[in-house]
Structure 1
Amino acid sequence: MRDIFAEIWATAKRNKLRTGLTGFAVAWGIFMLIFLLGAGNGLINATEQNNNQFMDNSMVVFGGETSKPYKGFKEGRPIQLNDRDFGLTKNRFATHIEEVGAIVSQGPLTISYGENYTSSPVLGVFPNYQAINKIEMCYGRFINNIDNEQQRKVIVISDEQAKELTSRPIQSLIGQYVDVGSNAFQVVGIYKKKQSGSSSYGNTPFNTLRILYGGGDNMEQINFSFHGLDTEADNESFEKSLRSSINKNHDAAPDDNSAVWIENRFTQALQMKTGMSIIRTALWIIGIFTLLSGIVGVSNIMLITVKERTREFGIRKAIGARPWSILKLIIIESVIITTFFGYTGMVLGIMANEYMDMTIGHEEVDAGAFKATMFVNPTVGLDVCVEATLVMVIAGTLAGLIPARKAAKIRPIEALRAE
């Protein structure tokens, strides 16, 4: 075996260009597959992270404006959601709905603590607002059902607002009273402001804010989480039924899609997953074709190698070399070249992905209203890297096997006549 390796090394040295081209084809195919998949995964992960701001199985209902006349009313009539709509949503659709909440807003209002102040809109919310909007608490707690039932004057502010209100550690605000407009509210929680959010909001109990500012029975949004709607068809049917029911409450046409707007995060997530799946498939197709180009390159060069050494193989057979020894020599040469350069391409691909992760993988685009990460973990699993390298090695071996069988079968006299 040592003699075979020595002979392969001597052959590679004599044919540096040929060996280099073979190695480049192998390394480039592996490198491009790993690099493309890594970059694609980085973009996909970033997109999913930037869009993962809300609970997938949730909907938000808004009042809109009628687009067609109905029951003597003209089009263009605004629809204001109210307690009847809230009760209808909660009771008639209880089979699928888990928890219902609503939102009213006021402001922007001045929130002050001592000599420090900030200004922002204040939302009146139900406890489910935290789960639906994936609000992460830094300190304290969020609004609960008791706050709403007892109409407590409590408020949950963002860490950004807290930093404006005190120069001390922001957790020191928990339990303190701040002035919200002309009313004193106790701070019960501080949440982490999302990078994609356009502004910070103060969150108070829904009933408290609506009563303080004379909201009557009106509300701006109805939000809820749901279960049992697993397909787009199920969701479309549910939305149609919910919209029709709420429209009837306001004497609007049941099929008027403009009277009530429904934002369905589940169907949005399905569409996003479909889009990401298409991108992943496209990346794999491009990567595989790049890998195939490397395999074709190896095959062509191995065919040329056998043709160039036809006379050599004829002499070997003439002096007693067995067909298996020639076959083994070509196959081992193919395996060694593809393994070495395949491993080199794999390492370079992993290094390129790691470099992306260390540079653009931590950069954010600041558009003023929001910040978004462009790349998140632009890497490929080690299993994919190893599998791609093994595919190239096996393909290189098969590429060498076909001409090797031809060389092993050639008769010495025909080999010696070859040019």
Structure 2
Amino acid sequence: MRPWELVRMAMATVLANPLRTALTMLGVIIGVASVFTLVSIGRGSSEAIAKQYESLGTNLLVVNLMGNGRATQLNYQELMQMESLPGFKAIAPTMTKNNSNIKYDRETETFNVIGTNDRYLDMQKGEVASGRFLAQADIDFRNHVAVIGSEVAAKFFGTGDPLGEKLNIDGYVYTIIGSLKSKGSNTSGTSLDSSIFVPLDTLSRDFKLGSIRTTYIEAATSENVAIVQSIVERYLQNKFNSTSGYNIFNSSQLISARQSASSTMTSQLVSVAAISLLVGGIGIMNIMLVTVSERTREIGIRKSIGAKRRSILLQFLVEAVIISGLGGLIGFVLGIVLSLAWPYINPNQTTSLSLDIGLYAFLFSVLVGVVFGLYPANKASKLKPIDALRTD
């Protein structure tokens, strides 16, 4: 039997029971669409992470203290002395008071308060919308001044001018000297937009915060990063007499770490979604076995008039492949639609279409049809004509 005749007969059989065919394809459709969409979301996240870090440049180092005891204490003056060493451009130690109660007039909201110095904003590539950022004099005199992110400004002041207004931060009054343009997340995962920035010593004194746990260090050039990192490592080893209790990341390592975490999560989700394809394959096998039982007499008649075993096997195998292939094609199109629609559903999440992965998922769905359709097709081809003709 010619290939096109096999396809025509298989299509006619598949379309003869549209509801049953649609239900059979459902597992394959969901599997292919899920794989395509999840990979698109994962790639979008990885690209967003890379873009976020690249906007900060490749000269940035981030020092995080992880240990207890002595390894939780860094001295601000010691850190700033390293700024004069060759290869260093700027250093911005930070303290963070998470979920602080911020009051203005009769409104209260929780935001993170970050204590830092005048270098921080430039290192994070942030921009001032109005007023100014922290100055060295604010650090030296422990002034009670604050710079607010765009979300904080919108929450308390709307489109009004916040300059000169007073914020109550957990009982201490700070005067707003500036507000920032919208920026998004920085390297530590916190948001410039939803944070309030105050002089580091002022925050430490008011709230008895004794430790600098995160420090941003900018090298003069990308070629100096390795040298600067080596100097910082030696300083920390000598200070804590240990090689543990702290981590030093450069921009490239941060990108790799965040992208690796995103890829791992995406791979796990894709693995779960791929199970739908296998479930769909089991459904195809089940319906093809039912089809063989329903068409036993037809098989007997065809064999009695000379149909070869190979023709019977190919006929049922092609039917299984068409069901899985159509399901894969519909899932592929659905995956594209969902990937394009996802940023509208979740504006904080971007997607990047993964047509290559979609093609692989489609081909895998066809393979599922071959694998799970082979047993029913083989069973049909082995039916003896005399036994088949006896079936009512």
TM-score (norm 2): 0.59
Q: Structure 1 residue 288 and structure 2 residue 274: aligned? A: yes
- For the pair shown, the structure with the greater C-alpha radius of gyration is 1
> SS where residue 377 of structure 1 aligns?
coil
CA–CA separation in structure 1 for the residues paired with 2:271 and 2:237: 45
Aligned to 1:114: none
- Counterparts of 1:350-369 in structure 2, within 5 Å, are 350-359=336-345, 361-362=346-347
- Of all paired residues, the percent bearing the same amino acid is 26
Aligned to 1:12: 14
Segments of 5+ residues of structure 2 without an aligned counterpart are 95-113, 130-147, 152-179, 186-190, 199-211
Aligned to 1:382: 355
Preserved contact between residue 30 and residue 346 of structure 1 (Cα < 8 Å): yes
Aligned to 1:142: none
What is the identity, as a one-letter code, of the residue corresponding to 1:378?
Answer: T
> SS where residue 343 of structure 2 aligns?
helix
Preserved contact between residue 338 and residue 392 of structure 1 (Cα < 8 Å): yes
Q: Residue 125 of structure 2 is aligned with which of 105, 118, 134?
A: 134
Aligned to 2:35: 33
Preserved contact between residue 55 and residue 265 of structure 1 (Cα < 8 Å): no
- Counterparts of 1:330-345 in structure 2, within 5 Å, are 330-345=316-331
CA–CA separation in structure 2 for the residues paired with 1:241 and 1:275: 29
Q: Structure 1 residue 22 and structure 2 residue 17: aligned? A: no
Aligned to 1:393: 366
Q: Residue 321 of structure 1 is aligned with which of 297, 307, 327?
A: 307
CA–CA separation in structure 1 for the residues paired with 2:223 and 2:6: 66
Cα drift, residue 316 of structure 1: 0.6
- Counterparts of 1:196-235 in structure 2, within 5 Å, are 196-197=191-192, 198=194, 223-225=216-218
Segments of 5+ residues of structure 1 without an aligned counterpart are 69-75, 105-120, 139-156, 161-189, 203-219, 248-252, 363-372
Preserved contact between residue 324 and residue 366 of structure 2 (Cα < 8 Å): yes
Change (3 A) 1:43 1:192: closer
Preserved contact between residue 89 and residue 242 of structure 1 (Cα < 8 Å): no
CA–CA separation in structure 1 for the residues paired with 2:25 and 2:244: 61
Aligned to 1:81: 76
Q: Residue 62 of structure 2 is aligned with which of 52, 59, 77?
A: 59
Cα drift, residue 274 of structure 1: 4.3
CA–CA separation in structure 2 for the residues paired with 1:393 and 1:230: 50
Preserved contact between residue 159 and residue 191 of structure 1 (Cα < 8 Å): yes
Q: Structure 1 residue 413 and structure 2 residue 386: aligned? A: yes
Cα drift, residue 392 of structure 1: 0.5
CA–CA separation in structure 2 for the residues paired with 1:349 and 1:67: 53
CA–CA separation in structure 2 for the residues paired with 1:331 and 1:309: 14
Cα drift, residue 99 of structure 1: 4.0
1:253-304 superposed Cα distances (whole Å, 9 cap, x missing partner): 645999xx87756676565344323312211210111111112211222233
Cα drift, residue 16 of structure 1: 4.3
Preserved contact between residue 59 and residue 224 of structure 1 (Cα < 8 Å): yes
CA–CA separation in structure 1 for the residues paired with 2:232 and 2:64: 10
Preserved contact between residue 59 and residue 263 of structure 1 (Cα < 8 Å): yes
Q: Residue 288 of structure 2 is aligned with which of 302, 306, 325?
A: 302
What is the identity, as a one-letter code, of the residue corresponding to 1:59?
Answer: V
> SS where residue 62 of structure 2 aligns?
strand
What is the identity, as a one-letter code, of the residue corresponding to 2:61?
Answer: S
Change (3 A) 1:269 1:303: same
CA–CA separation in structure 1 for the residues paired with 2:371 and 2:64: 61
Cα drift, residue 243 of structure 1: 2.1
Cα drift, residue 194 of structure 1: 4.8
What is the identity, as a one-letter code, of the residue corresponding to 1:392?
Answer: S
* Number of residues of Structure 1 aligned to a counterpart in Structure 2: 327
> SS where residue 76 of structure 2 aligns?
coil
Cα drift, residue 349 of structure 1: 2.5
Change (3 A) 1:313 1:122: closer
What is the identity, as a one-letter code, of the residue corresponding to 2:235?
Answer: L
CA–CA separation in structure 2 for the residues paired with 1:380 and 1:18: 31
Q: Residue 243 of structure 1 is aligned with which of 233, 236, 244?
A: 236
What is the identity, as a one-letter code, of the residue corresponding to 2:356?
Answer: D
Cα drift, residue 58 of structure 1: 0.8
Preserved contact between residue 288 and residue 376 of structure 2 (Cα < 8 Å): yes
> SS where residue 321 of structure 1 aligns?
coil
Preserved contact between residue 48 and residue 350 of structure 2 (Cα < 8 Å): no
CA–CA separation in structure 2 for the residues paired with 1:101 and 1:296: 60
CA–CA separation in structure 2 for the residues paired with 1:396 and 1:36: 23
Cα drift, residue 98 of structure 1: 5.6
CA–CA separation in structure 2 for the residues paired with 1:222 and 1:90: 16
